[in-house]
Each structure stands twice: as C-alpha cells, then as structure tokens.
Amino acid sequence: MTSHIEQLCIEKGLKMTDQRRVVARVLSEANDHPDVEQVHIRAMRIDPNISIATVYRSLRLLEEASIIERLDFGDGRSRYEEACERHHHHLIDIQTGEVIEFINDEIEELKRKIAHDLNYRLIGHRLELYGIKRRTDKDE
Ligand SMILES: [Zn+2]
C-alpha cells in the first residue's frame, strides 16, 4: 500500500527508493512529532537494515520538498510532522514533553495584521508556546 506521504512524493516527482518509502510510511503513520532517532527506530521495524544516515537524508529531502515540516521545540532536537493543510501551532508541556496542537484564528489574523502594519506581507513565521500545567483554576 502506498502511504500518503509517498503519494505526495510521487506527485512532486521525487525518486522513491525502498528506504525512502519506509521513512515516508513511518511519518504518514505518526500521530506525534518524532525526532530523527524515533523515526529511525520505527523505520527499523519495517526494514532492520535502514541506517540513521539514510533516515536523516530522507527527512531532509522530504523537508526540502515541503512535504514534511521540521519543528523546533527548544530542546535542540529536530522533530518532524507531515506538512498539513490545516495550519496549527504547538504548546509544549515542559515537564512531561507532551505536545498539544491548537488552532487559533485570532492568532492567524494578528500575525497578518502585525506584518501588514509594518508594511510587510507575511510569508512565514514560527510560534511555539511552552507551559507548565495548572493544577487548579487559581494557580495562574
Ligand atoms: Zn503538530
């Protein structure tokens, strides 16, 4: 079966090797934001011979083709997810490492407004929130 990311690669005319196909499948099936080592571990379950260097190169290729996005959650490790139509941001729980995805139309509007007011057209941005879970409603 062809994974969703593999399908995107084919549409973009990328040459697909067996090992690239494995990396594409791992990322298609991921519901989290794996780093290179996590992608490698999952890829080895499908192909025990795949090297971390191959995984790394495949990720770079997919990122350059804008098929996946590289994320930086401030811990020095790059993480990856499929670039999706539904634009979202991440809130990182710094105690558990849990990553919560959120969508907020006001933020999107505000980003455009800031750029516009400074006489720019927005072409990119980065926004990650870091937090500690509140225990009670009073715990601001
Ligand atoms: Zn995400």
Q: Which two tokens stand for residue 59?
A: 């990720």
Q: Which two tokens stand for residue 43?
A: 């890829």
Mean pLDDT, consecutive 10-residue stretches, the chain (140 aa), reads 90 93 95 95 97 97 93 90 84 93 92 94 88 79
CA of 110 to the centre of ligand 1 (A): 20
Q: What is the pTM for the complete model shown?
A: 0.79
Residue 138 pLDDT: 65
CA 96, 97, 100, 105 dihedral sign is positive
In CATH terms, 89-131 corresponds, of 3.40.50.300, 3.10.20.740, 3.40.640.10, 3.30.1490.190, to: 3.30.1490.190
Whether CATH 3.40.50.1820 fits 4-82: no
Count CB neighbours of 86 within 10 A.
6
CA of 131 to the centre of ligand 1 (A): 16
> Domain locations in the chain?
4-82, 89-131
